[in-house]
């Protein structure tokens, strides 16, 4: 597992694809298709913030550098280029109960792109067909976050997956299963407490 020092060295050396790969190792997302350009520093920054938070290292100077990079990379529409990267960036910013306009804009971006059936397209164009894999990844990253749950039609998404589970490919079904556990779908409301990043 990658250490804080290794994250810092890779970030300073600008070896973003290597950093991303090392951060992804041993994570549930590792065996799955992410479909993003991993050479973009923003993807590495988001995963690094998530990892530092998991290690209880949000106090190290690198953490604030990475958060600033994520905030600076937000586009005018509120997203970070694609839906998967946006979900990763939002999860990173929501670590440690993050708040602010950047998060609000990112959540609105995802809410605006959510399709009527409850899931998201594979690219940030609302009229594109829904993509169960991208939707499962968004839910895996964010379904445990109360602000996300309030901003999107979470029950519509869960209902879509429940109705279409048998038609999902293996990777999407596996990711949805993890998202379901992480988001505690189907549990009574008192049990739906936020889970730390």
Q: What is the CATH number of the domain that holds 165?
A: 1.50.10
Q: What is the pLDDT of residue 186?
A: 60
Flag whether 109 is in a domain. yes
How many other β-carbons are positioned within 10 Å of the β-carbon of residue 75? 13
Flag whether 18 is in a domain. yes
Closest CA to 81 of 144, 143, 124, 129: 124
Q: What is the pLDDT of residue 33?
A: 65
How many other β-carbons are positioned within 10 Å of the β-carbon of residue 187? 12
Q: What is the pLDDT of residue 99?
A: 81
Flag whether 193 is in a domain. no
User: Which pTM value belongs to this model?
Assistant: 0.86
Flag whether 118 is in a domain. yes
The answer to whether residues 47 and 90 touch, using CB atoms and an 8 Å cutoff, is no
Per-residue pLDDT of the chain (197 residues; tens, 9 = 90+): 788 999 999 999 999 888 988 888 877 666 556 656 666 799 999 999 999 998 899 899 999 999 999 999 999 999 999 999 999 999 999 997 778 899 999 999 999 999 999 999 977 777 788 899 999 999 999 999 999 999 999 999 999 999 999 999 998 998 899 899 888 876 444 434 444 44
Please give the residue range of the domain that contains residue 141: 4-188
Flag whether 196 is in a domain. no
Q: For the chain, what is the domain count?
A: 1
Flag whether 128 is in a domain. yes
Flag whether 194 is in a domain. no
| CB burial readout 150-165, b (16+ within 10 A) else e | ebbbbeebbebbeebe
The answer to whether residues 106 and 90 touch, using CB atoms and an 8 Å cutoff, is yes
Flag whether 197 is in a domain. no
Q: What is the pLDDT of residue 40?
A: 78
């Amino acid at each position: 597992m990658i250490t804080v020092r290794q994250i810092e060295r890779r970030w300073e050396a600008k070896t973003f694809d290597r950093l991303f790969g090392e951060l992804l190792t041993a994570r549930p997302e590792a065996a799955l298709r992410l479909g993003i350009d991993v050479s973009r520093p923003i993807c590495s920054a988001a995963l690094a913030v998530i990892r530092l938070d998991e290690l209880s290292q949000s106090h190290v100077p690198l953490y604030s550098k990475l958060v600033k990079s994520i905030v600076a990379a937000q586009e005018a529409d509120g997203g970070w280029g694609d839906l998967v990267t946006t979900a990763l960036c939002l999860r990173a910013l929501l670590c440690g109960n993050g708040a602010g306009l950047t998060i609000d804009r990112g959540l609105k971006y995802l809410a605006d792109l959510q399709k009527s059936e409850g899931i998201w397209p594979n690219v940030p164009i609302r009229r594109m067909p829904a993509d169960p894999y991208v939707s499962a990844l968004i839910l895996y990253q964010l379904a445990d976050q109360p602000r996300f749950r309030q901003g999107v039609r979470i029950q519509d998404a869960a209902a879509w997956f429940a109705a279409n589970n048998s038609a999902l490919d293996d990777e999407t079904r596996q990711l949805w299963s993890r998202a379901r556990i992480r988001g505690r779908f189907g549990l009574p409301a008192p049990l739906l407490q936020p889970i730390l990043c």
